[in-house]
Structure 1
Amino acid sequence: DSDGAGPEPAPGWEVATFDPDVDDQSIAHLPNYYTILYGLYPINFMDYIRKPQRYLRHANAANADEVEVQPTEMRHRSETFRRNHLLHPNFYSLTIDSEKTDFGR
Protein backbone atom coordinates (compact mmCIF):
# COMPACT_ATOMS: atom_id res chain seq x y z
CA ASP A 1 0.00 0.00 0.00
CA SER A 2 1.30 3.43 -0.87
CA ASP A 3 -0.67 5.08 1.97
CA GLY A 4 1.22 3.06 4.58
CA ALA A 5 -1.98 1.59 6.03
CA GLY A 6 -1.35 -1.91 4.70
CA PRO A 7 0.20 -4.71 6.71
CA GLU A 8 3.94 -4.76 7.17
CA PRO A 9 5.66 -7.54 5.25
CA ALA A 10 6.62 -10.36 7.59
CA PRO A 11 10.34 -10.86 8.02
CA GLY A 12 11.26 -14.23 6.65
CA TRP A 13 14.04 -16.63 6.01
CA GLU A 14 15.34 -17.26 2.54
CA VAL A 15 14.76 -20.91 1.64
CA ALA A 16 18.07 -22.62 0.95
CA THR A 17 18.38 -25.05 -1.90
CA PHE A 18 20.24 -28.33 -1.62
CA ASP A 19 23.58 -28.37 -3.43
CA PRO A 20 25.11 -31.88 -3.34
CA ASP A 21 28.58 -30.48 -4.08
CA VAL A 22 28.46 -28.43 -0.87
CA ASP A 23 25.76 -29.81 1.42
CA ASP A 24 27.14 -33.33 1.78
CA GLN A 25 30.45 -32.01 3.12
CA SER A 26 31.40 -32.36 6.76
CA ILE A 27 30.98 -29.26 8.93
CA ALA A 28 33.78 -29.11 11.50
CA HIS A 29 31.89 -27.18 14.21
CA LEU A 30 28.66 -29.20 13.96
CA PRO A 31 29.48 -31.48 16.95
CA ASN A 32 30.02 -28.37 19.10
CA TYR A 33 26.70 -26.89 17.95
CA TYR A 34 24.96 -30.17 18.80
CA THR A 35 26.57 -30.14 22.26
CA ILE A 36 25.42 -26.57 22.93
CA LEU A 37 21.82 -27.28 21.92
CA TYR A 38 21.79 -30.56 23.83
CA GLY A 39 23.31 -28.88 26.88
CA LEU A 40 20.79 -26.03 26.94
CA TYR A 41 17.57 -27.80 25.94
CA PRO A 42 18.12 -31.57 25.89
CA ILE A 43 14.46 -32.61 26.04
CA ASN A 44 13.29 -30.13 23.41
CA PHE A 45 16.28 -30.82 21.16
CA MET A 46 15.66 -34.58 21.23
CA ASP A 47 11.94 -34.00 20.65
CA TYR A 48 12.84 -31.92 17.58
CA ILE A 49 15.21 -34.60 16.27
CA ARG A 50 12.58 -37.33 16.74
CA LYS A 51 9.64 -35.48 15.15
CA PRO A 52 10.77 -32.15 13.68
CA GLN A 53 7.55 -31.12 11.95
CA ARG A 54 5.39 -31.89 14.96
CA TYR A 55 7.81 -29.94 17.15
CA LEU A 56 7.69 -26.91 14.82
CA ARG A 57 3.87 -26.99 14.70
CA HIS A 58 3.60 -27.17 18.50
CA ALA A 59 6.11 -24.32 18.79
CA ASN A 60 3.85 -22.26 16.47
CA ALA A 61 6.75 -21.73 14.08
CA ALA A 62 5.82 -19.67 11.03
CA ASN A 63 5.39 -21.80 7.90
CA ALA A 64 6.12 -25.01 9.84
CA ASP A 65 4.36 -27.12 7.21
CA GLU A 66 6.60 -25.71 4.48
CA VAL A 67 9.81 -26.90 6.13
CA GLU A 68 10.95 -30.05 4.39
CA VAL A 69 12.65 -32.28 6.92
CA GLN A 70 13.09 -36.02 6.72
CA PRO A 71 12.88 -37.27 10.34
CA THR A 72 14.61 -40.58 9.62
CA GLU A 73 17.50 -38.82 7.87
CA MET A 74 17.79 -36.33 10.74
CA ARG A 75 17.89 -39.12 13.32
CA HIS A 76 20.40 -41.08 11.25
CA ARG A 77 22.75 -38.12 10.73
CA SER A 78 22.57 -37.04 14.37
CA GLU A 79 23.12 -40.54 15.80
CA THR A 80 26.93 -40.18 15.82
CA PHE A 81 26.63 -37.01 17.89
CA ARG A 82 24.10 -38.57 20.26
CA ARG A 83 26.43 -41.48 21.00
CA ASN A 84 29.09 -39.04 22.21
CA HIS A 85 26.85 -37.69 24.98
CA LEU A 86 25.68 -39.08 28.29
CA LEU A 87 22.00 -38.88 29.19
CA HIS A 88 21.35 -35.34 30.37
CA PRO A 89 20.04 -35.08 33.98
CA ASN A 90 17.17 -32.84 32.86
CA PHE A 91 15.48 -35.93 31.40
CA TYR A 92 14.84 -36.99 35.00
CA SER A 93 13.67 -33.68 36.45
CA LEU A 94 12.12 -31.45 33.76
CA THR A 95 9.40 -31.60 31.13
CA ILE A 96 9.40 -30.08 27.63
CA ASP A 97 7.63 -26.98 28.97
CA SER A 98 9.46 -26.57 32.28
CA GLU A 99 12.83 -26.88 30.54
CA LYS A 100 12.17 -23.65 28.62
CA THR A 101 11.42 -21.67 31.78
CA ASP A 102 14.06 -23.12 34.12
CA PHE A 103 16.53 -20.28 34.65
CA GLY A 104 18.45 -22.08 37.38
CA ARG A 105 21.04 -23.35 34.90
Structure 2
Amino acid sequence: MDLAGREAETFVIGIDANAKPLEKPSVRITRKPAKGGLPNAMFIQAAVEDLPSELASVADSVTVNLPWGSLLRAVLLPDSEVLRGIRRLLKPGGELEVVTAI
Protein backbone atom coordinates (compact mmCIF):
# COMPACT_ATOMS: atom_id res chain seq x y z
CA MET A 1 0.00 0.00 0.00
CA ASP A 2 2.93 2.33 0.58
CA LEU A 3 3.97 2.09 -3.07
CA ALA A 4 0.41 2.70 -4.30
CA GLY A 5 0.21 5.76 -2.05
CA ARG A 6 3.54 7.17 -3.26
CA GLU A 7 3.14 6.39 -6.96
CA ALA A 8 -0.40 7.10 -8.12
CA GLU A 9 0.48 6.16 -11.72
CA THR A 10 1.59 2.66 -10.63
CA PHE A 11 -0.99 -0.11 -10.26
CA VAL A 12 -0.13 -2.29 -7.25
CA ILE A 13 -1.42 -5.83 -6.68
CA GLY A 14 -0.97 -7.43 -3.26
CA ILE A 15 -1.17 -11.23 -3.15
CA ASP A 16 -1.36 -13.45 -0.08
CA ALA A 17 -2.39 -17.08 0.31
CA ASN A 18 -3.99 -16.16 3.64
CA ALA A 19 -7.12 -13.98 3.39
CA LYS A 20 -6.95 -12.64 6.96
CA PRO A 21 -4.10 -10.13 6.46
CA LEU A 22 -5.86 -8.78 3.35
CA GLU A 23 -9.16 -7.93 5.06
CA LYS A 24 -8.38 -4.49 6.55
CA PRO A 25 -6.26 -3.17 3.67
CA SER A 26 -8.91 -4.34 1.17
CA VAL A 27 -11.51 -2.22 2.95
CA ARG A 28 -9.15 0.73 3.21
CA ILE A 29 -8.30 0.91 -0.50
CA THR A 30 -12.00 1.11 -1.45
CA ARG A 31 -12.51 4.35 0.48
CA LYS A 32 -12.59 7.69 -1.28
CA PRO A 33 -9.02 8.88 -2.02
CA ALA A 34 -9.48 11.80 0.41
CA LYS A 35 -10.05 9.21 3.16
CA GLY A 36 -7.06 7.04 2.31
CA GLY A 37 -8.51 5.03 -0.56
CA LEU A 38 -6.20 3.80 -3.27
CA PRO A 39 -7.86 3.31 -6.66
CA ASN A 40 -4.52 2.05 -8.02
CA ALA A 41 -4.32 -0.96 -5.68
CA MET A 42 -6.02 -4.31 -5.28
CA PHE A 43 -5.54 -7.45 -3.22
CA ILE A 44 -5.90 -11.07 -4.28
CA GLN A 45 -6.06 -14.11 -2.01
CA ALA A 46 -4.22 -16.89 -3.83
CA ALA A 47 -1.25 -19.21 -3.48
CA VAL A 48 1.62 -18.21 -5.75
CA GLU A 49 1.52 -21.65 -7.39
CA ASP A 50 -2.14 -21.15 -8.28
CA LEU A 51 -2.45 -17.53 -9.41
CA PRO A 52 -5.28 -16.52 -11.75
CA SER A 53 -4.29 -16.72 -15.42
CA GLU A 54 -5.40 -13.09 -15.84
CA LEU A 55 -2.26 -12.05 -13.94
CA ALA A 56 0.12 -13.60 -16.48
CA SER A 57 2.68 -11.10 -17.76
CA VAL A 58 1.10 -8.04 -16.08
CA ALA A 59 3.99 -6.93 -13.87
CA ASP A 60 7.04 -4.85 -14.66
CA SER A 61 8.38 -5.84 -11.25
CA VAL A 62 7.45 -8.24 -8.46
CA THR A 63 8.54 -7.86 -4.86
CA VAL A 64 8.25 -10.82 -2.51
CA ASN A 65 8.18 -8.92 0.77
CA LEU A 66 9.13 -10.75 3.97
CA PRO A 67 8.00 -14.22 2.91
CA TRP A 68 7.45 -16.83 5.59
CA GLY A 69 6.55 -20.50 5.75
CA SER A 70 6.45 -22.35 2.45
CA LEU A 71 7.06 -19.19 0.37
CA LEU A 72 10.22 -18.41 2.34
CA ARG A 73 11.47 -21.97 1.83
CA ALA A 74 10.58 -21.79 -1.87
CA VAL A 75 12.58 -18.63 -2.56
CA LEU A 76 15.58 -19.65 -0.44
CA LEU A 77 15.98 -23.29 -1.49
CA PRO A 78 14.58 -22.65 -4.42
CA ASP A 79 11.35 -24.41 -5.48
CA SER A 80 10.91 -24.32 -9.26
CA GLU A 81 7.09 -24.58 -9.17
CA VAL A 82 6.76 -21.57 -6.88
CA LEU A 83 9.34 -19.57 -8.83
CA ARG A 84 7.50 -20.35 -12.08
CA GLY A 85 4.33 -18.97 -10.50
CA ILE A 86 6.13 -15.75 -9.61
CA ARG A 87 7.81 -15.54 -13.02
CA ARG A 88 4.42 -15.92 -14.75
CA LEU A 89 3.46 -12.54 -13.29
CA LEU A 90 6.38 -10.75 -14.93
CA LYS A 91 6.43 -9.16 -18.35
CA PRO A 92 9.48 -10.10 -20.46
CA GLY A 93 12.45 -8.29 -18.94
CA GLY A 94 10.59 -7.78 -15.65
CA GLU A 95 12.44 -7.71 -12.34
CA LEU A 96 12.02 -9.87 -9.23
CA GLU A 97 13.06 -8.59 -5.81
CA VAL A 98 12.94 -10.73 -2.66
CA VAL A 99 13.13 -8.94 0.70
CA THR A 100 13.80 -11.17 3.72
CA ALA A 101 14.55 -10.58 7.37
CA ILE A 102 17.27 -13.23 7.35
Task: Report the TM range for the smaller structure's normalisation.
Answer: under 0.3
Give me the TM-score of the superposition, normalised by structure 1. 0.24
Bigger radius of gyration among the two: 1
Q: Which has the higher strand share?
A: 2
